[in-house]
Chain A
Amino acid sequence: EVQLLDSGGGLVQPGGSLRLSCAASGFTFSSYAMSWVRQAPGKGLEWVSAISGSGASTYYADSVKGRFTLSRDNSKNTLSLQMHSLRTEDTAVYYCAKVASAGFWSGDVDYWGQGSLVTVSS
């Protein structure tokens, strides 16, 4: 059974940093690209970032480019989203998600974590 466990959310001041993690199990982690998707309070879903199975390629939404860094440790089946220069508009529930097809990145995701709340406020 595929499981994705998001962690690391919390309260941070504007301009601060936070690191989210996602622990994966139930599939061959290194074979699949992974994504992060967020949902701001009262808003819809927004794709944030993605990384290839090897970790060699990363992709970012314009809204987070230059501030967020996505990485993965295939030996530990974990995904990490390092967030810097956080803004109030980054306040959201962040979900890690598994890309549906092995071997290449696409926006098509099948399994999601339960989400981790990030609140950026002074």
Chain B
Amino acid sequence: DIQMTQSPSSLSASVGDRVTITCRTSLDIRNDLGWYQLKPGKAPKRLIYGTSSLVSGVPSRFSGSGSGTEFTLTISSLQPEDFATYYCLEHNNYPPTFGQGTKVEIK
């Protein structure tokens, strides 16, 4: 199976900060990667698909980049509602594999 490494596992940041989360894969997955936001008690929400395409309705402060084996989710200016856990998902291989998650906490 493919190996996914998501970092950091957690971070503390303030409102207005720029935040970057990285996923690295052991195999080239082209651009078959998405990013998801999880909050307790709520349905997970897709933010980015195809590495860099923003889901309709998601604020433009979220962006995705990368290709091949290294991918990044950036939040340009962290807002109070962005404190959550974020996961990457690669779907180029079987089985699809999630990153380990990054918990974004308030500093």
Residues in A lying within 8 Å of B, measured CB to CB: 4, 37, 39, 44-47, 59, 61, 95, 97, 100, 106-115
Contact = CB atoms under 8 A, between A and B. Distances in A.
Contacts of B44: 45, 95, 97, 112
Given A44-B87, A45-B87, A110 B98 contact: no
Contacts, number: 57
A91 B49 CA distance: 29
Contacts of A113: 43
B43 A4 contact: yes
B34 A115 contact: no
Interface residues on B, range: 20 to 34
A107 B89 contact: yes
A108 B98 CA distance: 11
17 contacts: A37-B98, A44-B98, A44-B100, A45-B36, A45-B38, A61-B95, A95-B43, A107-B91, A107-B96, A108-B34, A108-B89, A109-B89, A110-B55, A111-B46, A114-B42, A114-B43, A115-B43
A45 B43 contact: no
A37 B98 CA distance: 10
Contacts of B7: none
A45 B43 CA distance: 13
B101 A44 contact: yes
B97 interface: yes
Given A108-B32, A112-B43, A114-B42, A47 B97 contact: yes
Nearest to B92: A107
B71 to A, nearest CB: 14
A88 B42 CA distance: 24
Given A47-B96, A95-B43, 15 more contacts: A4-B43, A37-B98, A39-B38, A45-B36, A45-B89, A47-B97, A47-B98, A95-B44, A109-B46, A110-B55, A112-B44, A112-B46, A114-B41, A114-B42, A114-B43
